[in-house]
């Protein structure tokens, strides 16, 4: 359930990510009325066309389902495929215009399990699709878990940005001082040496003004929402990798803590399909 939404976002972030497309397209097909076996048949057909024609899975899916009649797939399968692709296209169109949190909520609204995303995890049974956390004490909803992950990612980005700005500030502050020291050392020399030191000071000031101007211009530019989405998905991958053998789809630091046993050892959990 949870992973299908993340795979949908990965499809949007990288249309040529065949692995994510295959895993995200299947639940979309099921959400539009296909049984699991029928949905798998559609995915297998798409994979075959992609291999034969050297296309991405997304490109092949468009060729497979956008026909009136198919010798391999039923009308219901074609209809579900078209609707699934439309869902992907709708999320793709929104991605460059909205925040990660808003895009995530919109992606959830397209899921057949959208109601479950707003139910506390501890109250949901471990059915065929499983859950994000196998924890009877988890009172958050799957949506809140995801939003907490976004908060953690934003905090991480903010910390990295502050560190980078501090480093840039230290470098800019040292430039005039170094130029002044060079000018002082040259004072006892010829006049052209003193003039060169003055010119260096002037250039250092110009560089600082230009840097400040560039920073202001960048601040005025619209945020790159696609870059933000890719950054969030990279963060999720890094967190998952940091968990080692813990089988979690998403895990902020708080989530990892919930999985830890009394001795600090992580417990294996079940994840959604």
Instruction: Tell the burial category of 41 from Cβ atoms under 10 Å away from its Cβ (0-12, 13-18, 19+).
Output: middle
Do residues 5 and 13 make contact, with C-beta atoms less than 8 angstroms apart? no
Q: Is the pLDDT of residue 104 over 80?
A: yes
Q: What is the pLDDT of residues 14-48, one digit of tens each?
A: 999 999 999 999 999 999 999 999 999 999 999 99
Percent of the chain with pLDDT over 70: 65
What are phi and psi for residue 68, nearest 5 degrees? -80, -40
Cα–Cα distance, 72 to 54 (Å, whole number)? 20
Average pLDDT for residues 86-110, to the nearest whole number? 94
Residue ranges of the domains in the chain? 2-114, 161-224
Average pLDDT for residues 102-106, to the nearest whole number? 94
Q: 2-114 in CATH: which number?
A: 1.10.486.10
CA distance to 4, 14, 56, 268, per residue, from 271 (Å): 11, 23, 27, 10
Cα–Cα distance, 95 to 12 (Å, whole number)? 7
The residue ranking higher by pLDDT, 83 or 195, is: 83
Percent of the chain with pLDDT over 90: 45
Q: What is the pLDDT of residues 226-261, one digit of tens each?
A: 999 999 999 998 887 776 533 344 444 444 444 443
Q: What is the pLDDT of residues 192-238, one digit of tens each?
A: 565 666 666 666 666 666 666 665 555 567 789 999 999 999 999 88
């Amino acid at each position: 359930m949870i992973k299908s939404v993340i795979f949908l976002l990965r499809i949007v972030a990288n249309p040529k990510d065949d692995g994510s497309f295959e895993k995200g397209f299947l639940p979309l097909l099921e959400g539009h009325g296909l049984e699991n076996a029928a949905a798998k048949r559609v995915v297998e057909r798409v994979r075959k066309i992609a291999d034969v024609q050297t296309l991405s899975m997304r490109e092949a899916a468009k060729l497979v389902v956008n026909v009136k009649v198919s010798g391999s797939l039923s009308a219901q399968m074609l209809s579900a495929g078209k609707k699934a692709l439309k869902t992907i296209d709708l999320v793709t169109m929104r991605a460059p215009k909205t925040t990660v949190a808003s895009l995530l909520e919109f992606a959830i609204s397209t899921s057949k399990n959208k109601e479950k995303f707003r139910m506390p995890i501890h109250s949901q049974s471990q059915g065929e699709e499983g859950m994000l956390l196998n924890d009877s004490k988890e009172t958050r909803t799957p949506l809140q878990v995801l939003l907490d992950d976004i908060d953690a990612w934003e905090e991480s980005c903010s910390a990295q940005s502050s560190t980078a700005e501090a480093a840039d500030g230290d470098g800019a502050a040292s430039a005039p001082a170094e130029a002044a020291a060079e000018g002082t050392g040259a004072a006892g020399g010829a006049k052209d040496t003193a003039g060169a030191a003055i010119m260096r000071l002037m250039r250092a000031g110009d560089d600082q003004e230009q840097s400040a101007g560039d920073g202001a211009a960048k601040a005025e530019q619209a945020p790159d929402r696609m870059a933000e989405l890719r950054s969030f998905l990279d963060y999720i991958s890094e967190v998952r990798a940091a968990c080692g053998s813990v089988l979690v789809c998403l895990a902020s630091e708080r989530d990892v803590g919930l999985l830890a046993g009394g001795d600090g050892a992580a417990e294996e959990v079940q994840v959604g399909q």
